[in-house]
């Protein structure tokens, strides 16, 4: 029976610790913005065209000169 009291005490203490962690994170603004991460994934799908680098242009011009 003593172990039962010990287990209840440990579970209540663990629940209090998690409650304190939740309250601290809620007060610090952890859960403020829950909309933008869902929208941000839609905005990342833009296709970015790569500009040809000057090195590639030099390689192309060397090939054209050899022909």
Judge whether residue 14 has pLDDT over 80: yes
| CA distances in angstroms from 53 to 15, 50, 61, 66, listed in the order given | 58, 9, 13, 21
Q: How confident is the model at residue 58 (pLDDT cuts 50, 70, 90)?
A: low
Question: Domain-by-domain residue ranges, the chain?
Answer: 1-43
Total residues belonging to the chain: 67
d(Cα 19, Cα 5) in Å, to the nearest integer?
A: 21
Asked if 31 contacts 25 with a C-beta cutoff of 8 angstroms, the reply is: yes
25-54: per-residue pLDDT in tens? 999 988 887 777 777 777 755 566 666 666
Q: Which residues contact 25 (CB under 8 A, 6 or more apart)?
A: 31
**What pLDDT, on the 0 to 100 scale, is given for residue 41?**
74
On average, the pLDDT of the chain sits at 78
């Amino acid at each position: 029976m003593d172990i039962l009291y010990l287990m209840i005490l440990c579970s209540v203490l663990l629940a209090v610790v998690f409650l304190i962690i939740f309250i601290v994170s809620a007060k610090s603004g952890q859960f403020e913005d829950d909309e933008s991460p869902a929208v941000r994934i839609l905005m990342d799908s833009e296709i970015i065209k790569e500009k040809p680098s000057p090195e590639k242009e030099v390689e192309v011009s060397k090939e054209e000169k050899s022909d």
